Structure 1
C-alpha cells in the first residue's frame, strides 16, 4: 500500500477531521495509533478493541481528540481534533498494528494559519475571497466554497461549475478563475455583496487522483474593491 500524504490548513480554535481508512476488520486484535514523531511522547490518540487507550497520550491533546465508536468495525479511523492550537502544527501518522506487525497507512500535515480577514468598502461591486494552493493539480479537482451555515456558495468539479448545487442566496453572484487546476488559485469572486454576506467562508479542495485535501477559511466583514473579470483577470485592486 502506498503512503498517502495530505495537507490540511486551518485556524486556532477550530476543529478538524484527519482522515484515515483501512480494511481493519480482517485483522486480529487491531490497534490504531495516531502519532506525531516530533513529540515525546508521540501518541496523539490510540484505539484498541476494548476502546480508547490514552494512558500514553501526549498531554497537549488531553480532552481534544476522538474517533468514531465503531471505527474498528467500519474501517473509518479518522481522528477529530478540537480547539486547535498553534502547537498542533505538524505531521500526523495513522498507523494500524496487530499481532503480525504494523503498517503506517497515512500521513496528514496540519498547518495552522492566521485567520484571513477580508475587508471591503460598502457599495462596491464585488469581493475576492482568497484560496490558493501550490503546484499543478489533476483535472478531477473538486473545489467547494461553503459559508458558516454550511450553505454551498460555489461548487466546481471536473472542469466545470455546478450551479445546481449552489444555495439560492449565492446564485449568479459567484465566479472562479479560469484554468484553476493549472494555477492553484481557487479564490472566489462574490458580486454585489451586502451586510448579509458578513460570514466565515471555507474553501475545500479535493482530488482523489492525487490524494489531495486542503481547507482554508476567510472572514468577510466589510467590503474590498477586488474583482475577477470574465477573462479571469483582476479588474480592480485598491487595497
Structure 2
C-alpha cells in the first residue's frame, strides 16, 4: 500500500511476512493485514488511530505468479478511529446443502457486497421463492446465505451464483423429484483421465441408468466458476447458457442417449480445454455426478537439423506439453557438448524448441538430437 502523493510506503508484505523497513514514519505501528485472509485473495489494510492527515488517495499493488493488479482507494476519515482499506475479497467457495425440501446456498468472506441468484435447468415455471441474508463481519467482509423451497415436479438442476464486481462463481445442485426419491439409484462414479490430440476430436465418456425426465449437463469447473459446456433436456440440446469458448464444438451422440450414454464429443480441442469436466445426470431413476480429467497432447511431429559453419541447430515446433531436447554423438565425444536451448510458448499455448551447439574439432561424428 502506498499514498499516491509522493508514493509514501504505507505497508509491504512479501516472503510470507510483513516487510516494514521502508514504511513511512507516519504509519508506523498503525497498519496491519488480515493474515488469515491473504490465501483467499484479500489484501485489505487495517489503519488504526486514524488522523485527519491520513485522508487522501491510497494505492494497493499486488503481484503474484498469476499477474499483477493495481487499485486505488480514496480515504475519508469522518471522525473514525479505525478504517479498513478494502481491496477485493473474491468469491472463493460456495456451499450448497439440502434439509428436507429446503436448499441453502452460502458463501463467506467476500468484498465488496455480493449478489446471489438462483436458476434452474430446465427453467422452472414456478417462481423460486428464496430468502437471502447478508451479514457484515467485524473484518468488514460479507457473508451471504440464501434458502429456497424446491418446487414439486420433475428433476431439476439448481444453479446458485454468487457475484461481485471482481468475480463470480456458480455451484450446481441436483434435487430429485418425488418419484426419483422413491426410486433413487446411484451408479458407481468413475474419474478417468482422457488424453486427446491437439486439434482433433475427443470423446469424454459418461454413462448412466436411463429413465424419463432426462437432464444432461456437462460443465467445466474452474477458478472462474462452473462454466456450462453442454446441456440437454426436454429431448433436445439447450445451449443458451453455453460458455462461448465451446460454441460450435460440442455434441452428444443422440442415438445413444436412450441407451444410457451421455458421452460428449468435443471437436477441435485446444490446449485451453485441458482440465476437469463434470457430467451431471438427472432422471426418474436418480441422479449421478462424475468427473473426467482431460489432457491434451501435441506430439513431436517433425525435427529439423541444419548446419551453419561449425554450428549445428536442431528445432521443432507446435509441441505440448513442454518438451525436453538432448544431444548425443556416435561415437561418444570426450568433449562436453556446449549447447544453448531456448523454449518459446505460442499464443495457442504450444511450445517451440530450438537448440544450437558448436561441433568439436576432430574425427567425423554423427549428431543425434532427441526431443521428448
TM-score (norm: length of structure 1):
0.46
Larger radius of gyration: 2
Structure with the higher fraction of residues in strand conformation: 2
Greater relative contact order structure (CA < 8 Å, 6+ sep): 1
TM-score (norm: length of structure 2):
0.31
